Structure 1
Amino acid sequence: MTPVDPFDLPDWLGIAEVTWTAQAGLRTGPLVAGMLEAADVEAVPCDLLAVDEAYPAPVVDDEVRLGAHQAWRHGEVHLVDRAGRLTITVPGTAFTADLVLDALDRLARAVGASAERYAVRLRLTDGRGPAR
């Protein structure tokens, strides 16, 4: 995983009406795949990763985990490229709706956008059965 500077992201993330859409339910584990979308632009893959999940193995190395915690403590967000996908690293082991909203609010601020221009679409399950 390599750090991503918010200023290197597409300009439309700072000016368009942006929607982050989950491609899986929040209860699927520490990684929630998603997409950042806006009208008339190519979507950007953007995942959420809870960096404190450690069983059966840590999901990130200590450097990424520390970066996520330091940024979060200062009201910011730590972005990384994970296998060619923009990834928002978040302290914790799992996601709630509030945590997802907080992460996307921080992303909006990081790219100079108002959170009012961002929307979030969540999935309740992973499609394999009822939510637990």
Structure 2
Amino acid sequence: MSAPALAPVDPFDLPDWLGTAEVTWSTDVAGHRGAGRLGSGHLVRGRLAHAGEEHPCDLLAVDEAYPTPVADEDTRRLAHQAWRNEQVLLVEAQGRLALAVPGTDFGADRVLDALGRLAKAVGARPESYVAALRLGVVGHGG
């Protein structure tokens, strides 16, 4: 079975407040079985928030290939290239913004690194972004 093609997202098409405000990213644990625990899978559902505004923002580890690949080869290549250049590839996955990151799962360090790269992509200072990670959902991936 082939992996889905993931559509690229231009950071300039995202809400302006992502580049100008204090932003908090948090996991969407409730209601997403298997898609919220860091270190346990290729997808961590989350959202960016500021002053009552929210925007979905998931983390997608593009190298997961079992039982089926989660990203096509072009997306994987672009994600690795962006990461090597200290950037992050922004894609649309299942109708939501996702940060396409090399690897197969996420630990706290990888989450912070990806969000810092997102901040730079939208013209914000990385220190204006906060990651709210719930105890009990952080694994040992990274």
TM-score (norm 2): 0.84
Q: CA RMSD in A?
A: 1.4
Higher helix share: 1
The match for 2:122 is 111
Pairwise mapping of residues 47-58 of structure 1 onto structure 2 (< 5 A)? 47-58=58-69
Code of the residue aligned with 2:14 in structure 1: it is: L
The match for 1:37 is 49
Q: Per-residue CA shift, 1:73-132, capped at 9, x if unaligned? A: 111110001121000000001111000000000000000000111000113445xxxx68
- 1:8 aligned to 4, 8, 13, which one? 13
TM-superposed CA distance for 1:40, in Å, is: 3.8
Aligned equivalents of 2:106 and 2:97: distance in 1?
17
Higher strand share: 1
Aligned equivalents of 1:47 and 1:88: distance in 2?
6
Q: SS of 2:133's equivalent? A: strand
Identity of aligned residues (%): 60
Aligned equivalents of 1:106 and 1:57: distance in 2?
27
TM-score (norm 1): 0.91
Moved segments of 4+, more than 3 Å: none
